[in-house]
Amino acid sequence: MYSDKVLDHFHNPRNVGFFEDAEGMAQVGDPDCGDYLFLFLRIRDSMITKACFLCRGCPAAIACASVTTELVTGLPVNDAWDITDETIVDALDGLPEAKTHCSNLGATALHIALFDYFHRKDKAPVELEQRGDTGENDGS
């Protein structure tokens, strides 16, 4: 059974769309189910000012993508890095056990889009090393 928040984000997904000139972009897919997600970030002065997504996926995947765009908007990029699949599940008031893996799409896409941004800005070695992050995302 989905929470009211999951159903709301599935029926009324926020920030659907794309930026051709995004500062950070990611494309991720789940090979087990075939679902995929594109995430686009608008970043100004190291702050995520807007995020949007395109998704072909289950209701949980769409809800996770939608709430991810809300979670990151207005965050400094280094704070957005701390968002995990658990953050996303909590923001949706939980997911059914069989659907918790769907949150990986949102978290993984976010981290890849941030890497894309850091790579374009040539910031990754300094900013991520200072935080002690390895750059590895195990998707958990």
Rule CB under 6 A: which residues touch ligand FES? 30, 33, 35, 57-58, 60-61, 99, 102, 105
- What is the residue type of 127? E
Nearer to ligand FES, 20 or 32 (CB): 32
Q: Which of 52, 55, 64, 102 is catalytic?
A: 102
64 included as an active-site residue: no
Nearer to ligand FES, 23 or 30 (CB): 30
55 included as an active-site residue: no
Q: Which residues, in sequence order, are CB contacts of 120 under 8 Å at separation 6+?
A: 23, 24
Least distance to ligand FES from the beta carbon of 69, Å? 16
Q: Where are the alpha helices (DSSP H) in 12-136?
A: 59-72, 77-80, 85-91, 103-121, 124-131
Least distance to ligand FES from the beta carbon of 70, Å? 19
b/e per residue 124-138 (b: at least 16 CB within 10 A): beebbeeeeeeeebe
Please list the active-site residues. 33, 102
